[in-house]
Structure 1
Amino acid sequence: MAIRRRTLLKGALGAGALAGLAGCGGGDDGGGGGGAVTFGSNWSDEVPKNAIAAMMKGHDAEVSINTVDHNSFQENINNYLQGGPDDVFGWFAGYRMQFFAEQGLVGDISDVWSDIGSGFSEAMKQQATGADGKQYFVPLYYYPWAVFYRKSVWAERGYTPPATMDEFVALSKQMQGDGLVPLSFGDSDGWPAMGTFDYLNLRINGYDFHVELMAGERPWNSQEVKNVFDAWRELLPYHQPDALGRTWQEAAQTLLRKESGMYLIGMFMGQQFPEGPERDDLDFFPFPEIDPAVGADAVEAPIDGFMMAARPRNEEGAKDLLRYLGTAEAEDAYLAVDPNNVAAHDDADTSGYSALQKKSQELVSGAKSISQFLDRDTRPDFASTVMIPSLQAFLRDPDDVDGLTKSIEEQKASIFGG
């Protein structure tokens, strides 16, 4: 898997305080305590929750799992880490990891990596490394974002995967004529729409522009960004209406019920399809090319995994747990229950991979550039307080792109400075 990043993004913790995570936290006694290791989990949907439980059973010491709703966990992570976090917790690679490492809110696990490092590619290690060169993250899996569809529906209608945006729009119109909603869409949680923005931006402006924009180095009221929103506005008639009142899971159900033809989402959407013929009916194609000069070789493929609190109650136990979580056996145990991702460990068992997993692995390994998703590639405070409401404002009123981008740029300047 060839993941590369051209820039190590830097940032500072936002001033806005967030409500603490209810029920979370092992407390802080300077790392000298013992007892069961506490694990803060944001894997709250049924399938991944069961997979985490199955994986933890393979550890040779007691682990107390504290599961919190995924969105609540993300939205309140600042207070969680500044309060009494669990010894080990689930989080994300890349910038989202680096951000908290720079604030001293997570623990250095470089010694853990000296034991587990041989099982991961150099690219994976880079995604686990902070700006100071130390490791803070243990990867579990990655999953690409792509356009998913049901093979049976497409075979019945004679549809073929589009390679360009013109073909994508023509197919969407054909689906409307056939009585289907072309694109499932739900954004009540705020983050799913980021995937659409990212892919349009990657296809129109390229990967370097994406990185620089997320780092606050490019103006949001530039013509390049306006072009992204203009292109999105032209696609909105093919999206499922009233997206702000629908979760991504509810949108996935319309694809399951064969009411829609496509869905731009992460590979995790397979969780919404019953195991067996229904899940086997899923397939995907890469987001289409818009500009031949830019191409379509950039892929969104977020990496999920684990981190340690800066001052865990049971540091020795926390690091032992992380050493276990950094094994192929642990990843195999997880993916046996939740086969909707691709293992990060080089030695993970891929013999039982589904066609979807194999195709996902091929897509990511063949990509020239890998992004981690908008809310993982930029400052957490900017993503949550500016971009979520701004993208939802665009979905409510897509015609005022000038006003929208001006507002984003003004808010960006106050957060990033300059």
Structure 2
Amino acid sequence: MPSMSRRSVLRGAALGAGVVAAGPLLSACGGSGGSSGGGGGKTVTFGSNAAVPQPKGAYQKVFAAAKTSTGITVKPNWVDHNTFQQNISSYLQGNPDDVFNWFAGERMQFFAGQGLASNVDDVWKKIGANYTDAMKAQSKAPDGHYYLVPFDYYPWAVFYSKSLWKKHGYTVPTTWDEYIKLAKKMKSDKLIPIAFTNKDGWPSLGTFDYLNMRMNGYDFHIELMRKGEKWNTPQVKAVFDQWKQLIPYYSPGFAGLTWQEGAQQLLNQKAGMMVLGLDQIGTIFTGDKADDLGLFAFPEVDPKYGQSAVEAPIDGMMVSKSPKNKDGADKLLSYLGTAKAQQLWLGSNPADVATAKGVDTSKYTQPQNDAVKLITGAKSLSQFMDRDTRPDFADPVMIPAIQKFLRSPGEISSILSNVDKQAKTIWASGN
């Protein structure tokens, strides 16, 4: 999602429950070359959330290349990101375009489970070799069918300025004890050890996700996200108890800082480390500063789980429930599932990486190459809390709960009790 803040994603919190916000509705942009069902029409309609100039221009280049490669003409329906997010449920229940932009994880699974998307198993027979097992797993629904073709993604990691670390002789920590030891050293060197910001709330979700996966494992984390159970348990309380150790090393006044301000602390070498997504910080370290951006995996807490799970939100494409040109949609997605198509799109966006194998990484920035190494070495990929769990839980419940914890760490028991009650109510609603 180039040039889109994570907050933009979270503003679509009503979508999972099928709630439609006020404002203009999404609507399909018309027929697909006179074809119907599995017909062989040459036009495929495409519902896109990329109406802003940069990604729109990149998609136009890809669609032109797709026509040359496949003979398919893509008729895009450009919609701004927030409107797309807020109205997609009604759009998919109405007369949607053949193909549409969407996200992996729970967001994809929700619409697949509602019967509002077609499986793309036939496409995966052609593109399967282009993807890792972890990427394949994020493209399937519980029914075992594929519903998403991944297109681009980016990791959450611990970022730092290489030149600052070289100046001070710092080395990458791999364990929690090494991480805390490094933070103490940075503080003694008059640096902010960890640039941390929480004005908008969502950046802190990444730290929770990593701590939970490092301490309780990926499977526990995903079950916690998907089922809404076990919030008021010793395992989750231990995560917050561990988190308390980091607070003394955070940016002063972090509750009032935006992620951009935290990233500037890193860029200006006032801070030593920051947990964030490449999609965000890659827009701050640009030009001659781009290759000064280093990254490493969030440190191991429990050797049982190591550093095997990586937070890597995936964007991709899905096919609507009754596309007018299913054959054309499959041909288009088969093309978009290639390294060639994804590399063309990423030419204007150094803050993300391609999901398919085989991209010419010599054209990547060093942070992009480091991101690929981190992601492809992962055993499991999570999607960030707002995508791995229900949006009516991540935004209105977890963000204020974590903000309260960071203000008053001693109140974690009552905070988790409240979170647990709200989770049970939300999941019991069945929406």
**TM-score tier after normalising by the smaller chain length:** 0.7 to 0.9
1:92 CA drift (Å): 1.8
Correspondence for 1:145 among 153, 156, 160: 156
Q: Give 2:186's aligned amino acid.
A: M
Q: Give 2:28's aligned amino acid.
A: G
When normalised by structure 1's length, the TM-score is: 0.83
Report what 2:66 is aligned to. Answer: 59
Cα displacement string for residues 284-310 of structure 1 (whole angstroms, at most 9, x for unaligned residues): 111112233442322222322111233
1:199 CA drift (Å): 0.8
Report what 2:142 is aligned to. Answer: 131
Q: Residues 44 and 329 of structure 2 are in contact (CA less than 8 Å); yes or no, is this contact kept in structure 1?
A: no
Residue 26 (str. 1) matches residue 34 (str. 2): no
1:29 CA drift (Å): 8.3
What stretches of structure 2 of length at least 5 have no aligned partner?
A: 1-14, 68-72
Find the residue that maps to 1:139 and give its secondary structure.
strand
Q: Give 1:185's aligned amino acid.
A: F
For 2:98 and 2:201, how far apart are their aligned partners in 1? 29
1:19 CA drift (Å): 0.8
Report what 1:410 is aligned to. Answer: 421
Q: Residues 21 and 73 of structure 1 are in contact (CA less than 8 Å); yes or no, is this contact kept in structure 2?
A: no
Q: Residues 20 and 79 of structure 1 are in contact (CA less than 8 Å); yes or no, is this contact kept in structure 2?
A: no
Residue 373 (str. 1) matches residue 375 (str. 2): no
Q: Residues 37 and 317 of structure 1 are in contact (CA less than 8 Å); yes or no, is this contact kept in structure 2?
A: no
For 1:282 and 1:43, how far apart are their aligned partners in 2? 29
1:151 CA drift (Å): 0.5
Report what 2:354 is aligned to. Answer: 343
Q: Give 1:17's aligned amino acid.
A: V
Cα displacement string for residues 312-338 of structure 1 (whole angstroms, at most 9, x for unaligned residues): 566565444323322222111022222
CA spacing shift, 1:235–1:73, aligned 2, 3 Å: farther
Residue 226 (str. 1) matches residue 237 (str. 2): yes
Residue 397 (str. 1) matches residue 404 (str. 2): no
Cα displacement string for residues 28-56 of structure 1 (whole angstroms, at most 9, x for unaligned residues): 98995997723322586x76555444433
1:152 CA drift (Å): 0.9
Report what 1:10 is aligned to. Answer: none
Report what 2:262 is aligned to. Answer: 251
Q: Residues 98 and 329 of structure 2 are in contact (CA less than 8 Å); yes or no, is this contact kept in structure 1?
A: yes
1:376 CA drift (Å): 2.3
Report what 2:175 is aligned to. Answer: 164
1:401 CA drift (Å): 0.5
Report what 1:3 is aligned to. Answer: none
Q: Give 1:171's aligned amino acid.
A: L
Find the residue that maps to 2:264 and give its secondary structure.
helix
Q: Residues 181 and 240 of structure 1 are in contact (CA less than 8 Å); yes or no, is this contact kept in structure 2?
A: yes
Report what 2:396 is aligned to. Answer: 385
Find the residue that maps to 1:234 and give its secondary structure.
coil
Report what 2:8 is aligned to. Answer: none
Q: Residues 132 and 376 of structure 2 are in contact (CA less than 8 Å); yes or no, is this contact kept in structure 1?
A: no
CA spacing shift, 1:411–1:249, aligned 2, 3 Å: same
CA spacing shift, 1:411–1:37, aligned 2, 3 Å: same
1:222 CA drift (Å): 0.6
Report what 1:359 is aligned to. Answer: 370
Q: Residues 36 and 62 of structure 1 are in contact (CA less than 8 Å); yes or no, is this contact kept in structure 2?
A: yes
Report what 2:308 is aligned to. Answer: 297
Q: Residues 165 and 289 of structure 1 are in contact (CA less than 8 Å); yes or no, is this contact kept in structure 2?
A: yes
Find the residue that maps to 1:37 and give its secondary structure.
strand
Q: Give 2:303's aligned amino acid.
A: P
CA spacing shift, 1:27–1:186, aligned 2, 3 Å: farther
For 1:242 and 1:100, how far apart are their aligned partners in 2? 40
For 1:18 and 1:172, how far apart are their aligned partners in 2? 45
What stretches of structure 1 of length at least 5 have no aligned partner?
A: 1-12
For 2:84 and 2:408, how far apart are their aligned partners in 1? 29
CA spacing shift, 1:247–1:23, aligned 2, 3 Å: farther
Cα displacement string for residues 57-83 of structure 1 (whole angstroms, at most 9, x for unaligned residues): 42322443524246x655665455445
CA spacing shift, 1:111–1:36, aligned 2, 3 Å: closer
For 1:379 and 1:200, how far apart are their aligned partners in 2? 20
When normalised by structure 2's length, the TM-score is: 0.81
Cα displacement string for residues 98-131 of structure 1 (whole angstroms, at most 9, x for unaligned residues): 1210012223333333443443345433322222
For 1:251 and 1:283, how far apart are their aligned partners in 2? 16
Report what 1:8 is aligned to. Answer: none
Report what 2:108 is aligned to. Answer: 97
Find the residue that maps to 1:38 and give its secondary structure.
strand
For 1:52 and 1:244, how far apart are their aligned partners in 2? 37
CA spacing shift, 1:154–1:48, aligned 2, 3 Å: farther
1:385 CA drift (Å): 3.4
Correspondence for 1:38 among 46, 49, 61: 46
Q: Residues 144 and 300 of structure 1 are in contact (CA less than 8 Å); yes or no, is this contact kept in structure 2?
A: yes
Name which of structure 1's ranges 344-353 and 33-42 shifts more when overlaid on structure 2: 33-42
Name which of structure 1's ranges 325-334 and 55-64 shifts more when overlaid on structure 2: 55-64
Report what 2:295 is aligned to. Answer: 284
Cα displacement string for residues 178-205 of structure 1 (whole angstroms, at most 9, x for unaligned residues): 3332222334444322110011111222
Find the residue that maps to 1:382 and give its secondary structure.
helix
For 1:96 and 1:349, how far apart are their aligned partners in 2? 30
Report the number of matched residues: 404
Q: Give 2:80's aligned amino acid.
A: V
Report what 2:7 is aligned to. Answer: none
Name which of structure 1's ranges 276-285 and 359-368 shifts more when overlaid on structure 2: 359-368
Q: Give 1:38's aligned amino acid.
A: F
For 2:36 and 2:261, how far apart are their aligned partners in 1? 45
Q: Residues 283 and 351 of structure 2 are in contact (CA less than 8 Å); yes or no, is this contact kept in structure 1?
A: no
Report what 2:11 is aligned to. Answer: none
